[in-house]
Structure 1
Amino acid sequence: MNHWLTAPILIPLIGGILQAFMGYAPIALRRTLAIATTVLMLVAAIVLLVLADDGSYRLYAFGNWQPPFGIVLVLDRLAALMLVMTAVLALFCHIYAIGGTDESSRQFHGLFLFQLLGLNIAFLTGDLFNLFVAFEVLLIASYGLLMHGEGTSRTVPGLHYVVLNLAGSAVFLIAVGMIYSVTGTLNMADLAVKIPQVAEENLPLVKAGGMMLLVVFGLKAAILPLCFWLPGAYSNATAPVAALFAVMTKVGIYAIIRVFTLIFGSQAGELAGLGMDWLFPLALITLTMGVIGALGAASLRKLVAWQVIISVGTLLAAISFGTVAGTSAALFYLLNTTWVVGGLFLVADLVDGQRGSAQDKIVTAPRIANRTFLSVLFLMGAVAAVGLPPLSGFFAKLLILKSAVTESDVAWLWSVLLIGSFFTLIAYSRAGSIVFWRNVEGHIEEPQKLTPSLSVSASALISLSIVMVILAGPISRYAEDTAAQLHDTSAYTDILSKPMVGEEK
């Protein structure tokens, strides 16, 4: 067993516990510990990415219990990719937070690290029940982060977020109970073996459980009609929290990829492709709803929040094809949209601090300080989000368009995605021209100072769209290898026969 697999869990766990006991310590010490913890987590994620790139599955069994018994962590290319994506986003969000956002709560850094703990467990776990546990860990931390900061504007959206996710957790628990009652296991590898063997009289129960899981993961991913909580919750959160939340919907998407490729994939007999017939049209409708919301957005934060929903629809449309090409394209787009949306949330907050009472509302106001710098960042983020050349969003959407095979899929995907991108471009053009260029006479008193921590973190996340273009070859190769590994489920089930420590091979 490779003990590196526990590092992404132990590092934020220990860091979060230390932060909980350091609430009254000097803020400089808390910030230093927080950044150090996040950097260590990124280093561990990169090490795991290098390990996973050889294409093998690595298993860590707590207590040395042979799967399917006990708690297991499984590392593959997908898990490593999600860990690195999250760690990079978290590092720059944390750097932004030390610019002043963390001052209003002594427990901000502890909650931040506990949320990373939950995310990392979700990506590494090889068990459905522990996936439920991971969701609860990250959601409990996210409740506190969502309410972080001053003002009452977060209360109602936060309440909606809490109630919906509690309902989703209840459905999740019922679903895994239904599946366990038939199969006698929740280990994902074991389920991949036993689902095709389910007796005909038990198929409806397992099918119902699987569809309930799809609903739960759809709620986490914010797919229509389970997406209306997101714009209010995200747009009212503090900037580093909203930016970190860009990865929250991707947890639901990750769960759909993992569960419905491995457990209900092509090898699942009568349950193969469960729910995928519903996923494609719902994805396109979600994308359309996101575009409509973006066109009507009254503030930059709301515009970026609707961009999250647009990205969810785009991702799930590619995933619903159930092909290596579709999954590969989705993974490339996943990196682009997560980092760019996170950066746009930070840019929107910087604009807010420069415009006085106008905040980030899409209305005319006196000319802001640092207009050139902020407008260039917004332009780059918008170009990458919409999918225009030469930034990474263009290549990501091109791969998604090419992944459609059948005439029907090509017609629907190309028309909805291209028309949606055009209207999204209109939404960003309207917002940018009004906020940055349509100025009125006046003077804004005491605009927010752009400190290095604020400027660097926002710039870095947006600039990753350029880095992805430079590294498009290696990233595409890794995404293709990851998709191929995901669709070869026999290799995953081999972990059931891997020897434990002390056993002969």
Structure 2
Amino acid sequence: MTAHLPILPILIPMLGGLLMLIPPFTGPERFQARRAATLVLTLMQIACAIWLMISVTQNGAMMYAVGDWQAPFGIILYADQLSAMLIALTAFLGLGATLYSFAGTDRGGKYFHPLIQFQLLGISGAFLTNDLFNLFVFFEVLLIASYTLLIHGGGKQKTAANVHYVILNLIGSSLFLIALGTLYGTTGTLNIADMARKIPELSESEAIIAQVGGSLLLVVFGLKAAMLPLHFWLPRTYEAASAPVAALFAIMTKVGVYCIFRVYTVIFGEQAGYLANMIDAWIWPLAVLSIAVGTIGALASPNMRTLIGNLVIVSVGTLLIAFALRTPEATAAAFLYLIHSTLVTGALFLIADMLGQQRGKAFDRFVIARKIQSQTKLGILFFVAALAVAGLPPFSGFLGKLVILQAATENADRVWVWSAILISSLATIVALSRAGTTLFWRYGSSNDNEDSSLSRWQLSGAILLLAASPIMVIFGAGVIDYTNEAAAQLHDIPYLLDVMQLEGAKP
């Protein structure tokens, strides 16, 4: 069974999602059966992800050749410590979003739970594949599911945001195919490990063509990650989505960031000859500007959901700054921060929705509205989330930002890294302080006849995601050790080629 372990995170949501499309799970009256099924499926994915993490930690990375067609010709799945960690993160985030949806969000459409499973399928496949074309396929799977989830529940705002979102991603998919065709024409392969072996062998003219393909991939991944200047779709899209969908979308930008780390470390890394570190000159300014624009957007946000969307952009810029440092230590720091930012921003979307439900027509806008009924519960959740996302001790945001600051060892790097991260953290504190003051302390007349009590499902989903922040600090040594090993494995190209049973990369 262990030999087939890498494909289980794909098979479980795929088969589970398909089964929920047939009786006895169909029909509006069968929502309890769909809830039970999706909860079981998500728990199975978490168990499988933990098993995969333990296996790759003890025994090394695993290659899975679908249909036993070996690399570089077959469909290859590659599970290392990084991909296993991200599979576990995805499943855990999916559990929190699913629990929250049980409060009633999932009743907006009978296909909500199957679509959640297909979304998890696409994300898990993107993290596990070792082939650029199959990466494109899984991108399309997760995007098609996200298109439908975005308009779940209906409404003009969701429809308008979805049209914008679909058009941009169709353009991105077209550029992705052009990039793949260009790279396949020059290297004769789209297997990531095989490309890492062949890129250094290209002639100068072939390398220039491959550089075009690699640059187009950066545009595609930058669009998925909401990297400046391709970030403008994110705040509006995340604001329009329902709370559990927005929480699950917190991992979507990280798929783009993951692809940047994987492709531009393995294929276009230090060993790539003429194309070595080809995007470094672009990443530094784009990372810093992403942090700056996201920070300004957070300060200017008119409501809580837009504020959180801009904080997602800040987190993307922070991850790209760590990537720009180009060391295993900085990569490990980025992985730690990635876990933190995904779970905390996911929890914030859920908290924003609960706050909005208790404020009546004003929802989460920063205006005077009726008094929040559950001030103590929501106040504690908001306070913890605000401290964590701002990077204040004793929560995971402080630990994540600290290790990134420590990874900047060169004086020139320190100026940019420390300035960008510390200034954005200060501005985040100001933005969240303004938000908390308005939401909790500025209120008008309240209508006590309106029941806006919190559901236990809503609280359980938010608490589950938010509890990960202090837990990451309590077990910080183990988490840091794991991310250090994952980063070292990612940077060890000969090890990847050995697992894939390919010849060593030529210098």
Report the TM-score, using the length of structure 1 for normalisation.
0.97
> 1:19 is matched by which residue type in structure 2?
M
The match for 2:335 among 331, 334, 339 is 331
Q: Is the 8 A contact 2:63 2:500 kept in 1?
A: no
The match for 1:438 among 439, 442, 454 is 442
Which residue of structure 2 aligns with residue 321 of structure 1? 325
The match for 1:390 among 394, 405, 416 is 394
The match for 1:420 among 411, 424, 446 is 424
Which residue of structure 2 aligns with residue 476 of structure 1? 480
Secondary structure at the aligned position of 1:320 is classed as: helix
RMSD value, Cα? 1.3
Which residue of structure 1 aligns with residue 16 of structure 2? 15
Cα distance in structure 2, aligned partners of 1:463 and 1:438? 28
Cα distance in structure 2, aligned partners of 1:167 and 1:23? 34
> 1:23 is matched by which residue type in structure 2?
T
The match for 2:93 among 81, 89, 93 is 89
Q: Is the 8 A contact 2:304 2:352 kept in 1?
A: yes
1:75 aligned onto 2:73? no
Q: Is the 8 A contact 2:131 2:191 kept in 1?
A: yes
Q: Is the 8 A contact 1:276 1:320 kept in 2?
A: yes
Q: Is the 8 A contact 2:14 2:117 kept in 1?
A: yes
Cα distance in structure 2, aligned partners of 1:411 and 1:320? 14
The match for 2:210 among 206, 210, 216 is 206
Q: Is the 8 A contact 1:148 1:238 kept in 2?
A: yes
1:208-236 per-position Cα deviation (integer Å, ceiling 9, x unaligned): 10011011101000001100000000011
> 1:325 is matched by which residue type in structure 2?
E
1:118 aligned onto 2:122? yes
Q: Would you say how many aligned residue pairs link Structure 1 and Structure 2?
A: 499
Which residue of structure 2 aligns with residue 250 of structure 1? 254
Which residue of structure 2 aligns with residue 342 of structure 1? 346
Task: Give the direction of change, closer, same or farther, for the CA distance of 1:55–1:432 in structure 2 (3 Å limit).
Answer: farther
1:52-91 per-position Cα deviation (integer Å, ceiling 9, x unaligned): 1136221110111121011011110010010011010001
Task: Give the direction of change, closer, same or farther, for the CA distance of 1:233–1:23 in structure 2 (3 Å limit).
Answer: same
Cα distance in structure 2, aligned partners of 1:125 and 1:416? 33
Report the TM-score, using the length of structure 2 for normalisation.
0.97
Q: Is the 8 A contact 2:70 2:76 kept in 1?
A: no
Secondary structure at the aligned position of 2:325 is classed as: coil
**Unmatched tracts of structure 2, length 5 or more:** none
Cα distance in structure 2, aligned partners of 1:447 and 1:296? 31
> 1:3 is matched by which residue type in structure 2?
H
Of residues 21-30 and 98-107 in structure 1, the stretch that sits farther from structure 2 once superposed is: 21-30
> 1:268 is matched by which residue type in structure 2?
A
Deviation at residue 449 of structure 1 after TM alignment: 2.4
Which residue of structure 2 aligns with residue 239 of structure 1? 243
Deviation at residue 450 of structure 1 after TM alignment: 1.3
Cα distance in structure 1, aligned partners of 2:324 and 2:163? 31
The match for 2:315 among 311, 314, 318 is 311
Secondary structure at the aligned position of 2:255 is classed as: helix
Which residue of structure 1 aligns with residue 171 of structure 2? 167
Deviation at residue 440 of structure 1 after TM alignment: 2.4
Secondary structure at the aligned position of 2:394 is classed as: coil
**Unmatched tracts of structure 1, length 5 or more:** 500-505
Cα distance in structure 1, aligned partners of 2:428 and 2:80? 35
Q: Is the 8 A contact 1:355 1:444 kept in 2?
A: no
1:13-412 equivalences under 5 Å are 13-21=14-22, 22-24=25-27, 26-54=30-58, 56-412=60-416
Q: Is the 8 A contact 2:374 2:453 kept in 1?
A: no
Cα distance in structure 1, aligned partners of 2:423 and 2:120? 36
Cα distance in structure 1, aligned partners of 2:56 and 2:366? 45
Which residue of structure 2 aligns with residue 2 of structure 1? 3
